[in-house]
Amino acid sequence: MQTILKVIAASFILLANAVCASDTNVVLVTLDGVRWQEVFSGADKNLITNKDFVKQPSQLHDEFWDENPQKRQQLLMPFLTQTIAKDGVIIGDRKKGSTMSVSNPWYFSYPGYNEILSGEVDVNINSNDKVYNPNKTILERLNTHPEFKNSTALFGSWDVFPYIVNTQRSNVYVNAGFMPIENNLFDNAPLLNALQKEIPSPWVNVRLDSFTYRFAKAYMLAKQPKLLVISLGETDDFAHDGHYDAYLKSAKQSDAFLKDLWQTIQSTPGYKNKTTLIITTDHGRGSNANDWQHHSSKQALAKSAQGNKAFPEGIIGSEHIWLGAIGPAINGNGLIKINNVKQSQIAATVLEALGLQPYKINPNMAPAIKEILK
């Protein structure tokens, strides 16, 4: 009898320590380098008429400008500001006492994506070089468990993501940069693959977001992964190039993708009412005409003599980020007035939205953002 009890007790211990996923999914979307200023106040009056950054100020003015910041916000990102911010939650409007920032000391992309996807800060990740990430992302950690095997995936516009997710080690499905999609995944796959080759991107290492989104959506419908990450990249590159008009148009298109994604989720069996959508960014940007194109900390720019000379205090404010979320795991509280939320908390938030206990996946990751979860 005692032997049987010991076996039963051991079984309960094993069960308690196992990774047990509920019947839920998460889609995490990142919009690279989108400032909190545009998210919460729409087009910047100091940039929208600046001929250094806008080719046709009058046309852009007609599309994006209103004296009322709320109306400007709705002109730019209506889904994020009228649906997610009302039916879900949003964080990051610093003018209203809602703040969020990165934890890493660098304030640029690779360190930010590592932080978002691993829940940990690694100060040694201090460049955007194509170096395989020594840290394990939640995509990789979950992929080792039977409930999530071959059910995590990432689609990104930037060609560094295979290194961030460390596809050499992780066995996570990643489609990024100019990778084609499998021709048999959906009917239009061969056409989109051909168009991706034929339509030149302005950048050598970032494809146009339309391909990233269409590939990711098709994969989601075909494979129904439990955790899908979609990283759109145009906004950051247009900003670096000083094209505020294209930055705004890309942000508006990204918002349209989010709307379409949510409608698709809510009309797909297996996803409808079972999927949480989380949206965030990897870093912020400067706040005025002199530095809005850029982002980096004082510590990061100290490594560059030219950057350090131009911005001796770094790009102030580029650590400021934001987050929005909607779905069955999220409290519909709208804007949350909260201080000191960190980027590193996103990974654990994703895990809890999946019905998991983050400390069992990785005891070293930052805690979830409890204030947004049910």
Check pLDDT > 90 for residue 117. Answer: yes
Q: Please, are residues 313 and 86 in contact by the beta-carbon 8 Å criterion?
A: no
**Residue 334: which region, alpha, beta or left (left: phi > 0; alpha: psi -120 to 50)?**
left
Q: Are strands 152-156 and 173-176 parallel, antiparallel or unpaired?
A: parallel
Long-range contacts, 59-62 (Cβ 8 Å, 24+): 60/245, 60/248
Distances (CA, A) of 197 to 23, 94, 190, 191, 193: 38, 41, 11, 10, 7
Query: What is the per-residue pLDDT across 226-256, written as a single tens digit (0 to 9) for each?
Result: 999 999 999 999 999 999 999 999 999 999 9
Q: What residues are paired with 208 via a beta bridge?
A: none
Model pLDDT for residues 314-362, shown as the tens digit of each residue = 999 999 999 999 999 999 999 999 999 999 999 999 999 999 999 999 9
The residues pairing with 373 across neighbouring beta strands, listed in sequence order, are 330
Cβ-in-10-Å burial (0-12, 13-18, 19+) of 172 comes to buried
278 forms beta bridges with 28, 325
pLDDT score recorded for residue 19: 54
CA distances from 174 to 46, 156, 233, 366 (A): 39, 8, 15, 25
- Confidence at residue 248, expressed as pLDDT on a 0 to 100 scale: 98
pLDDT category at 307 given cuts 50, 70, 90 is: low
Mind spelling out the 3-state secondary structure of the chain? CHHHHHHHHHHHHHHHHCCCCCCCEEEEEEECCCCHHHHHHCCCCCCCCCCCCCCCHHHHHHHHCCCCHHHHHHHHCHHHHHHHHHHCEEECCHHHCCCEECCCCCCCHHHHHHHHHHCCCCCCCCCCCCCCCCCCCHHHHHHCCHHHCCCEEEEECECCHHHHCCHHHHCCEEEECCCCCCCCCCCCHHHHHHHHHHCCCCCCCECCHHHHHHHHHHHHHHHCCCEEEEEECHHHHHHHCCCHHHHHHHHHHHHHHHHHHHHHHCCCCCCCCCEEEEEECCCCCCCCCCCCCCCCCHHHHCCCHHHHHHCCCCCCCCCECCEEEECCCECCCEECCCCCEEHHHHHHHHHHHCCCCHHHHCCCCCCCCHHHEC
Report the share of the chain in percent with pLDDT over 70: 94
Band of pLDDT at residue 11, cut at 50, 70 and 90: very low
Q: How many Å separate Cα 67 from the centre of its chain?
A: 30
- CA-based Rg of the chain, rounded to a whole angstrom? 21
Q: Could you give the CA distance from residue 169 to residue 135 in angstroms, rounded to a whole number?
A: 11
CA pair distance 28, 223, nearest whole angstrom:
16
User: Residues 46-81: pLDDT tens digits?
Assistant: 999 999 999 999 999 999 999 999 999 999 999 999
The pTM of this model reads: 0.94
User: 320 vs 198, 233, 282, CA distance in Å?
Assistant: 37, 18, 10
